[in-house]
Amino acid sequence: MHAPGEALRFPGRIGLGTWQMGQSAAQRSREVAAVEHALATGYRLIDTAEMYGDGSAERIVGGALKHFGAARRSELFIVSKVLPDNATRAGTARACEASIARMGCEYLDLYLLHWPGPHRFSETLRGFGDLLRRGLIRHCGVSNLDLGQLQGWLEAERSLGLPTHTQCNQLYYCPEARGIEFALLPWQRSQGIQTMAYSPLGSGRLVRNPALAQIGRARGVSAAQIALAWCVREPDVVAIPKSIDSQRLDENLHAAQLRLSATELQQVDRAFPPPRSQQPLEMI
């Protein structure tokens, strides 16, 4: 179990995202089975949010956790997020309690502000502080904050003297969305803030990308695996692709073992040129 104030350590480079789960009752059993399969085959990082399926994605995770076993909770790293509209001090606590209840997971390893909203960062941070002191979360962080917003967040955090500090910003990042590389990612590295890449396959588009497929054929792997290996090529980035197909889940997890060569990285750069100037933060 992680204690507040400890360094943030993810259990592996590839986790399971659950965005778009919980939107169809007809898919529920298949989605629960997919999360169960992911846990059985070695996934230990699970990302979700109260927004996904209006809480249904968290219930799907909870269904899979029952099968996994409450006694094994400490093996997992579970992430959820509070909606900006709920992110007052009291609202953050209520939202977290509801997320934990839907999943039946006792506590969250990491709790994030989903994106900037109407409430002051200090209000959300006070809510995070309350949750840390109650042992309901182990770490807190943010999602979809650009450089200026993240600097403001950290300034508010320092002023409050919380028992932990932000060590993660969850961002849209993949070969075709590299805007964070120009300024945000380097600054985060200077501050010891890790990146959790959501939609690392570009909402599925990169699975069929010809340039990535060509690189993959030479290695005997898929375009998706090349995209994921590219995403986690640096040690401070983890990726959370979503799938409910067992074969793709297995392939995604195994992508963490791939190490791209300098030549392969140059091929990706040619197909998806890195930014040369400041770009707006991309959110999907």
CB 16 within 8 A of CB 48: no
Answer yes or no: 52 catalytic.
yes
Q: Which of 52, 172, 173, 198 is catalytic?
A: 52
CA-based nearest residue to 146, from 12, 4, 254, 280: 280
Chain Cα centroid distance, residue 174: 13
Report the distance separating Cα 99 and Cα 52, nearest Å. 11
List the catalytic residues.
52
